[in-house]
Structure 1
Amino acid sequence: MSDFTPGQRWISDGEANLGLGTILFCDARTVRVYFAASEETRTYSTRQAPLTRVVFGSGDQVESADGETLRVEDIKEDANGLVTYICARQDGTLTELPESCLNDRMAFHQARDKLLTGQVDRNDAFNLRYRSLNHHARLQRHPGYGFSGPKVDLIPHQTGIALDVANRHRPRVLLADEVGLGKTIEAGLILHRMMVTGRVGRTLILVPESLTHQWLVELLRRFGLEARLLDEKQSQQYPDENPFDTAQLVLASAQWLFANPRRQQQAEACQWDMLIVDEAHHLNEEDADSGYPFVSTLTAQIPSVLLLTATPEQLGAERHFALLQLLDPERYHDLETFKQEEERHAPLANIMDGLVALHEQRTPLSAEREAQLLAFIADDEDAQQAWQALRADGDEDAQQLAFARLRSALLDRHGLGRVMFHHSRRDIAGFPERRLHTQRLEAPLPYQRVVRRLQRNEDYLDTLMIEHELAYPDLLLYPEDTYMALTTEDADPWWKIDPRVQAIIDWVEEHPGEQALVICHSSATVRSLAEGLRVIAGLHVPVFHEHMSLIERDRAAAAFVDGESNCPLLICAEVGAEGRNFQNCHHLIMFDVPTHPDQLEQRIGRLDRIGQQHPIDIHLLTLEGTPMEAVARWYAEGVMSFGEPTGLGSELYDAFNESLDAALLDADELDAVIADTRDALEERRQKRQAGRYRLLAHRTAGQPQAMADLITELDDQEKLSRYLEQASEVFGFDIKDLGGELYHIAPTGQLLDGLPGLVKGEEGFSATFSRSVALERDDVERLSWEHPLVQELLSRAIDSPHGNTSLALLKHPAIPAGRLMTEVMFVTQTPAPKALHAGRFLPPTPIRVLLDQGGQVLTKNVSFGGLAKHLQRVKRAMARDIIKQCLPQLREMLDKAEGEADRELPALVKAAHQGMCDTLDQELARLKALAARTPGIRQDEIDALQQERDQLEVAINDSRLRLDAVRVIVTVDPNS
């Protein structure tokens, strides 16, 4: 049986910041401990629990739950092992204090006790601990913390949204960017930031079945987040427990969950902090099978919700309203009221256009627009002052400030940016030009015969579908598949007769030194095409498709991306290309056309990305007179897909796909369908520009570049590489420079167990500090302060007792031998729930105190780094002897150091309190002012922020100091 008893007080050896814990439960295998100060519960194995029993002795100072300081005179222990202290108050009277009544926020001098018993660690471990404390405090305060680690481009509109949403208390928003603008990246940034800062713990992500693995890979590859992909097979492995309780981050297929009432009940029974739903436009309040009722139940009980969708208004006002209702049912309670509010968007968008013209070109507003503006801001004194300042002839900075204030007031007041975010490529710079090069090739006779027979005999289509089990419309669009299904086994493979194969070979010969991504509709075509290029032209090119393992895909992508490989082509399948970044090249060869406009945009999006340095050259290979050519014309002339993304492809497909199918073999009908599609496209474009989307474009124009610049600050390679070099010596791994900004991190024989990515006897991993290199190489990890390995190193260096005591010798000609010095590190403690993210105002901050044996404070005169480079190690046996001889002096010096550190604490607390008030009081005032004028602000959001502010005030004011580490320094003769 264990030595743990419910009610006993213990502390965590590895997480001293949790405070004083209470044993809740214990059996032969596990012990559960509740840390009230931080509202955390931990469960440990009884055999290896990293816990230390707290029992004070006579003369020790303790603190009661009500904050009274007492001196222990004696202790009593009952039959269950629970302790009661006999304590003296300051007036000398005695009182009994059960251990259950000890203050949960008491600090413990573990380093002091360890040192005075002669236990010391390596000098480099002490140095690393101090540097880790400083880096950790810097990161916690930094506004970019949580955004720097993800392996993504720093694009202002994405980082701006992420900052806005992640800093809200219980955010509930609709991310509705156009296709290819990064909704998934925005959601990942928000999730990562909120998880790193402790605002979110358990998250459920629902995505379409076809995107589950893409999300799984993206979360891990880009954000370092390990999700549990849950399906029916996985769920059945937990017959006696709720499968949704088996991980902090759960990813599941929406289709699977929507069709399974039992699993829905299990998901609803869990406590979630955040819900993310991708492709939310598929939810339909009038169709129970769409999952709307289930998602509605979840959104009612989960505080933070992100809905990701294509442009929602293509679904109509009713469906758009239904999505917004999931996020805020109080704000969006009546459809007719919502429609009336929508009518005001066009006039407001006109006003915003006029204000931009006034600000940028000093073009005055028309009388009509000025009257409309004054009506909008009639009850907003701040907005009126901003308007007067904007129209006056002030200096440039004053004009800029006035414009920003007025724009923010108008957009905030009407709530467009609080619930819904939408970006369009028209409003974001940095996208390349698209250039279409269509190559019409003569179809081989076997292909022509099939087309002619289909034109003459309508029943032949049914024959192909039924007798040969060919899918429609694939049998029309992909003639190589139909050819292979109709020929005998000894017939030539399709790549021997298809002119598209020779066209690719010709392209390679005509573009020496250049690269192209070739995309085909299926993995079978990918493999056959690669074989044809090898046999006909001797081209050995990598392939990339969904039937390859993740490692195989990474290697193929790396072979193509690597500039030294001289690989001219990568042949990619439709599914295999999803989500990948191949913008190292700017040539896209379309071997065929997909069946849906969104798939076409997905193809082009592999190259057409913000930051692409060249125009995108799209080489479209079509076969004359075939249905493939008909669909290509519809994309090019009707949907205008090869020009720039319209965001309307899916809507146009839904409206015209049946007409298009009927016209694939009739040129006259095809011309009519193309004309009708183009007219519908223009009509929908004009409708979209009428109001809401123009207002959202103005919100986009206000996205700050400053956030991306702040994140770049945390990308400082020099600081991080220096820290990793120091940590490698303590933790036992090696960093080898491979050149080209690439490094290899591998374990050594002294590796400490459990470091992410490092296992004894294995190879380790390749990494880079460069964001751009990491984005080009999916097989290379990006090292940042938020990388799992770095986070683990920081955590171990700070939370474990390793390195919290040391003894070193100082040889310096200016300092006489035989002197005793102590370097004492104190750390501020602000016990508070993780969700408050108290560290942004007062993280665990180190206070260093350097004393000599005479009590002189040397901290300001001798820097940590300057001292550390002159120190030399000493054997542990000698260190113990020195400490034993100096115990009285060390006790006095530690008491003196504590007094010095206590004098510095009030200034830190005052600054943190002021920073908290400046930040949260301003946001509270803003939200309250907005709530008085617009229904777009939820009262529960204001209440939650007020509660957060009040809790932080108590926590910051209750901050204490903890003695974290002590180094004893003995000066010796430099000539010895």
Structure 2
Amino acid sequence: MYQPGQRWISTAEPELGLGTILRVEGRGVQVLFAKAGVLRPYASDSAPLVRAEFRAGQRVAGKGVAFLVERIEVREGLFVYRGEGRELEEGQLDDEQSVSQADDRLIGGRTDPVDRFDLRLEALQRHAAARRSPSWGLQSARIGLVPHQLRVAGIAAARRPPRILLADEVGLGKTIEAGMILARQLATGRSGRVLVLVPDTLVYQWFVELLRRFNLAFAIFDEDRCEAIEQSGDGRNPFEDEQLVIADFAFLEHHPKRAGQLRDAAWDLVVVDEAHHLEWSPEGASPRYELAQALAATSPGVILLTATPEQLGRTGHFARLRLLDPQRYHSLEAYIGESDGFHELSEVANTLVEGSPLSAAQRALLADRFTNDAEILAALDKKDASREILAALIDRHGTGRVMFRNRRAGIGGFPSRKPAIEVLDADGLDETHKQALLAEFRADAQQPPGPIEPDYADDPRLAALVRLLETHPDDKFLLICRSQAKVVALEEALRTRSGVGVARFHEGLGIVQRDRNAAFFASEGGARLLLCSEIGSEGRNFQFAHRLVLWDLPLDPDLLEQRIGRLDRIGQKHDIIIHVPVVADSAQHVLARWYDEGLDAFRSSPADGRELLRRFGQDLAHLADEHARGVDNRDQELEGLIVETRGVHAELSALIQSGRDHLLELASSRDLHADDLVRAFATDDDDAGRDDFIHRLFEHFGVHSEELAREVTLLDPQYLSTDGLPGFEDGPVSVTGSRELALAREELPLLRLDHPMVASAVELMVGGETGNAAFMVDDVLPARTALLQAVYVVECVADRKLDAERFLPATPIVYTVDTRLAERANFAPSDLGLRRAADRNIEVLRYRKFLAKLVPPMLEKAEALAKTHADSLVEAAIEAARTELDGEHGRLAALRAVNPSISEAELNAVATERDALLAALPAARMRLDAVRFVVSGDFLALK
């Protein structure tokens, strides 16, 4: 079947052009697509290949000549094309030779229903528009369109590559920002292999967040998985078995061999969460820091997520920055000196933002600091130059290129927190119950939680919970406790005390069951109470509720903040009521008082929680234990601890506030790409016909759509016609096109063109023959009319990392000509003709002779018209690329003169990308994708 030298086309990747058979061995065949620089191995019996065979009347080109084929010979298994006194062997054909099976199918009478042609064309048009958008890869993400998150993702996505520190305050969505950046990097091809490195407690949170929000299926790696891969015996690095990997530090620390293999694997992008746990000092570094440093040194892209930078101290903050740019941040002393200056300038920025005039001292500071800076000095001499001076200061900011910092106070939109601490009488408790409460506290204080078998049948907290449910019958309650065992015990105890609907959410349930239970809680008539283990505070959004019950309290203030953060989120429409039932004089009562009176943690979000835990955590746990056991004089010590905590908290809060880098917080608003995603989503979400197209596309593959509720559709794959469509392995799937509904119900996929289910359906449609040849009768056409509609696709084959498709995606262009070879501009079949087409059964095979006579010259004319259009599209793409990247390069070059954080490497990356794009885009080519022959009602009778 295959023979070296033959030319074949990949139906899966037609944009690669003509391929040449290089080698046939056993059951395999190698095909070289020379123009694209791609070598593909295929299995002989299942290769997606069709022979490139031209007919008489078609034009071929190669070796500097082009002619119309008059006859074809076969010489030693290869085609030889002859015409106009010339000949070309198939091996001499240009790699960009226009090859299509569409006209063959039409002339051969193998046509599809007319609506399939229209569906194919619409799929091409919609995919081109979606692929060009800056939001490609994020359109189907289950994310709220929060401006500060979109700004961070838009700016970072434009970096080449992103090496950034995300340092937003707690609850502002650092994980979402990181997910948006890496989803965009993957969708555009700029990154192919991504590693997410996290503490072991966050592995599941990241896995769920990436899968549920961004449709990214990461693989969790542990020792069992690595051993299973190594058992294959091929000697490969286990971490090269998957492209998208999540691993935890603890696993790698316990298995140094795996840490070495992780370092040896090549990564395009590395994400490190909780980066403030990476310990470094001038004297030495922790193993975790050294691992992150080795990965950062060999990976082009790095994203670090960290707690409030001011908490870390400047040494800790410097340690994070040197991971991103060790050349820029090479000296701790130099960094401290520089940051001292920026804190001074931050006060100047505050004055300018407030619109107040600069003091004489502030003007002197600027004049002294920027002695050789003509722009700043000139602005100082002008009146009303506040904006100009502020813009100049932002451009000169030291860490503004690598660090993003957003604060709750600056963003706004958060609800109030209202604690409702209920101290329950302990007089009725016997010693057994008191000891049970103490044992529960001790188990909770362990990491992971210690084993207990709780029984809450007579627990006074249960009675308080039942009263809450009865007092607020219209509200939903989220209850979070430490462990799965507690959730099970609570459900059992509630079953005999209350008839309220209850759902469970804990690590012992599978992902699907967790989703169903969360959906049951979210639905209007569903559960009123969701019982969650600690996993419920990780990565889930329950902001449709506003009452939180803290059955117990964690020792870690950050963990308490995570719990409250399930409800206290941007977009929450109600105040958060935080119910804290505690038994008087219990260990949990001590914790509640410390949080409430020492940190005010139930009303605010303390930025110094980690430092307070470090200073007081051990004493607090010990004191709470002794207090619960009734040790004498504990009340006085507790009062002293609370007073001391309150004082330290006030000092740290003032230090953090005074150390704020306001310039940093303002930096992102000045970036060229700050509003790219905001504008893109505004356009993407305002597409009235998108949902209808998606459902018609699924119907084509045998997936029936049924409306279940407003904006909820059930996709039933009962008659699914292909195994290549993902997402239906478990049967029918409920979906939505509403972003708001998808945010409220996390089990509902948000369907957009970049969702894996839709993207696969589009690829199956346009990558195969379906709809690429059609024949129809249109009774509205004038008598004796025959028209050929030809759809050409202009596409550029380039290195995926260039993301050339943002300038020139695979773009369809349509031209229509009549039998006199005249263009029929803007032709579209009539609605009547399209309606009747479904009922007409035309035997196209009967008209092969006149089709063979009419189609080739009509197609040649259409191709000539389309070629001019294609050339203009390519020229526009080249100009857009040149304008954007020249502008980017010039802007960065100008900023580099005043901002040392912009490196020569970043400038060179932009220049290299520009040069590569300007070389690739002119090589874009046009290929015929689909044809439709349209005739008047009397035309067939004439033939």
TM-score by length of structure 1 reads 0.88
For 2:360 and 2:833, the matched residues in 1 are separated by 71
Q: Secondary structure at the match of 2:882?
A: helix
Equivalent AA in structure 2 for residue 752 of structure 1: T
Aligned counterpart, 2:399 = 416
Aligned counterpart, 2:620 = 660
The superposition leaves residues 759-802 of structure 1 with CA deviations (integer Å, 9 ceiling, x where unpaired) of 5xx63101111111111112222112221121112212222222
The answer on whether the counterparts of 1:15 and 1:800 sit within 8 Å (CA) in structure 2 is no
Aligned counterpart, 1:710 = 680
Aligned match for 2:297, one of 297, 300, 307 = 300
For 2:23 and 2:171, the matched residues in 1 are separated by 51
Equivalent AA in structure 2 for residue 441 of structure 1: L
Aligned counterpart, 2:336 = 339
The answer on whether the counterparts of 1:72 and 1:85 sit within 8 Å (CA) in structure 2 is no
Matched, 1:884 2:836: no
The answer on whether the counterparts of 1:347 and 1:691 sit within 8 Å (CA) in structure 2 is no
1:359-374 superposed matches below 5 A:
363-374=356-367
For residues 30 and 691 of structure 1, do their structure 2 counterparts lie closer, same or farther at Cα, with a shift above 3 Å needed? farther
Aligned counterpart, 1:459 = none
For residues 325 and 476 of structure 1, do their structure 2 counterparts lie closer, same or farther at Cα, with a shift above 3 Å needed? closer
For 1:316 and 1:26, the matched residues in 2 are separated by 64
For 2:669 and 2:769, the matched residues in 1 are separated by 50
For 2:655 and 2:401, the matched residues in 1 are separated by 23
The answer on whether the counterparts of 1:195 and 1:201 sit within 8 Å (CA) in structure 2 is yes
Aligned match for 2:818, one of 841, 852, 856 = 852
For 2:3 and 2:379, the matched residues in 1 are separated by 65
Aligned match for 2:247, one of 248, 252, 259 = 252
Matched, 1:541 2:506: no
What percent identity do the matched residue pairs reach? Answer: 38
Matched, 1:268 2:237: no
For residues 354 and 162 of structure 1, do their structure 2 counterparts lie closer, same or farther at Cα, with a shift above 3 Å needed? same
The answer on whether the counterparts of 1:19 and 1:831 sit within 8 Å (CA) in structure 2 is no
Matched, 1:815 2:813: no
The superposition leaves residues 7-39 of structure 1 with CA deviations (integer Å, 9 ceiling, x where unpaired) of 754321121112333556654344454544445
Aligned counterpart, 2:898 = 933
The answer on whether the counterparts of 1:809 and 1:874 sit within 8 Å (CA) in structure 2 is no
Tell which deviates more after alignment, 662-671 or 583-592.
662-671
Q: Secondary structure at the match of 2:778?
A: strand
Deviation, 1:378, is 5.6
1:898-917 superposed matches below 5 A:
898-917=863-882
For 1:257 and 1:161, the matched residues in 2 are separated by 31
For 2:73 and 2:285, the matched residues in 1 are separated by 65
For 1:744 and 1:93, the matched residues in 2 are separated by 59
For residues 421 and 750 of structure 1, do their structure 2 counterparts lie closer, same or farther at Cα, with a shift above 3 Å needed? closer
Q: Secondary structure at the match of 2:535?
A: coil
Matched, 1:829 2:795: yes
For residues 228 and 102 of structure 1, do their structure 2 counterparts lie closer, same or farther at Cα, with a shift above 3 Å needed? farther
1:220-235 superposed matches below 5 A:
220-235=211-226
The answer on whether the counterparts of 2:698 and 2:761 sit within 8 Å (CA) in structure 1 is no
Equivalent AA in structure 1 for residue 502 of structure 2: V
For 2:436 and 2:475, the matched residues in 1 are separated by 41
Equivalent pairs counted in the alignment come to 924
Q: Secondary structure at the match of 1:821?
A: strand
For residues 61 and 611 of structure 1, do their structure 2 counterparts lie closer, same or farther at Cα, with a shift above 3 Å needed? same
For 2:738 and 2:805, the matched residues in 1 are separated by 27
Tell which deviates more after alignment, 70-79 or 570-579.
70-79
Aligned match for 1:151, one of 101, 125, 142 = 142
Matched, 1:571 2:531: yes
The answer on whether the counterparts of 1:827 and 1:963 sit within 8 Å (CA) in structure 2 is yes
Equivalent AA in structure 1 for residue 329 of structure 2: Y
The answer on whether the counterparts of 1:715 and 1:784 sit within 8 Å (CA) in structure 2 is no
For 1:18 and 1:622, the matched residues in 2 are separated by 68
For residues 734 and 635 of structure 1, do their structure 2 counterparts lie closer, same or farther at Cα, with a shift above 3 Å needed? same
Aligned match for 2:173, one of 146, 169, 182 = 182
For 1:529 and 1:452, the matched residues in 2 are separated by 18
1:552-571 superposed matches below 5 A:
552-565=513-526, 567-571=527-531
For residues 874 and 514 of structure 1, do their structure 2 counterparts lie closer, same or farther at Cα, with a shift above 3 Å needed? closer
The answer on whether the counterparts of 1:809 and 1:971 sit within 8 Å (CA) in structure 2 is yes
The answer on whether the counterparts of 1:10 and 1:23 sit within 8 Å (CA) in structure 2 is yes
Aligned counterpart, 2:288 = 291
1:700-739 superposed matches below 5 A:
707-716=677-686, 718-739=688-709
Deviation, 1:376, is 5.4
For 1:167 and 1:268, the matched residues in 2 are separated by 26
For 2:603 and 2:173, the matched residues in 1 are separated by 19
The answer on whether the counterparts of 1:808 and 1:874 sit within 8 Å (CA) in structure 2 is no
Aligned match for 1:596, one of 556, 579, 587 = 556
For residues 217 and 750 of structure 1, do their structure 2 counterparts lie closer, same or farther at Cα, with a shift above 3 Å needed? closer
1:748-787 superposed matches below 5 A:
748-749=718-719, 751-758=721-728, 763-787=731-755
For 1:452 and 1:136, the matched residues in 2 are separated by 64
The answer on whether the counterparts of 1:145 and 1:711 sit within 8 Å (CA) in structure 2 is no
Aligned counterpart, 1:958 = 923
For residues 37 and 116 of structure 1, do their structure 2 counterparts lie closer, same or farther at Cα, with a shift above 3 Å needed? same
Runs of 5+ consecutive residues of structure 1 not aligned to the other structure: 393-401, 455-463, 465-469, 486-492
Deviation, 1:867, is 8.5
Aligned match for 1:742, one of 712, 728, 731 = 712
The answer on whether the counterparts of 2:107 and 2:851 sit within 8 Å (CA) in structure 1 is no
For residues 523 and 161 of structure 1, do their structure 2 counterparts lie closer, same or farther at Cα, with a shift above 3 Å needed? same
Matched, 1:628 2:596: no
Deviation, 1:58, is 8.8
Equivalent AA in structure 1 for residue 197 of structure 2: L
Equivalent AA in structure 2 for residue 208 of structure 1: P
Matched, 1:944 2:941: no
Equivalent AA in structure 2 for residue 649 of structure 1: G
The answer on whether the counterparts of 1:853 and 1:893 sit within 8 Å (CA) in structure 2 is yes
Aligned match for 1:474, one of 421, 424, 443 = 443
For residues 30 and 603 of structure 1, do their structure 2 counterparts lie closer, same or farther at Cα, with a shift above 3 Å needed? farther
The superposition leaves residues 164-216 of structure 1 with CA deviations (integer Å, 9 ceiling, x where unpaired) of 00111111111122222111111111111111122111111112222222222
Q: Secondary structure at the match of 2:607?
A: coil
Matched, 1:161 2:152: yes
For 2:478 and 2:913, the matched residues in 1 are separated by 51
1:39-50 superposed matches below 5 A:
39-50=37-48
Instruction: Calculate the aligned-residue CA RMSD, in Å.
Output: 3.3
Deviation, 1:701, is 6.0
Equivalent AA in structure 1 for residue 503 of structure 2: P
For residues 265 and 494 of structure 1, do their structure 2 counterparts lie closer, same or farther at Cα, with a shift above 3 Å needed? closer
Aligned counterpart, 2:762 = 794
The answer on whether the counterparts of 1:39 and 1:833 sit within 8 Å (CA) in structure 2 is no
For residues 268 and 114 of structure 1, do their structure 2 counterparts lie closer, same or farther at Cα, with a shift above 3 Å needed? farther
Deviation, 1:672, is 2.0
Tell which deviates more after alignment, 233-242 or 828-837.
233-242
Q: Secondary structure at the match of 1:237?
A: helix
Deviation, 1:128, is 0.8
Tell which deviates more after alignment, 381-390 or 268-277.
381-390
Aligned match for 1:12, one of 10, 13, 23 = 10
For residues 25 and 125 of structure 1, do their structure 2 counterparts lie closer, same or farther at Cα, with a shift above 3 Å needed? same
Aligned counterpart, 2:459 = 498
Deviation, 1:967, is 0.6
For 2:35 and 2:901, the matched residues in 1 are separated by 36
For residues 574 and 722 of structure 1, do their structure 2 counterparts lie closer, same or farther at Cα, with a shift above 3 Å needed? same
For 1:411 and 1:282, the matched residues in 2 are separated by 30
For 2:841 and 2:380, the matched residues in 1 are separated by 72
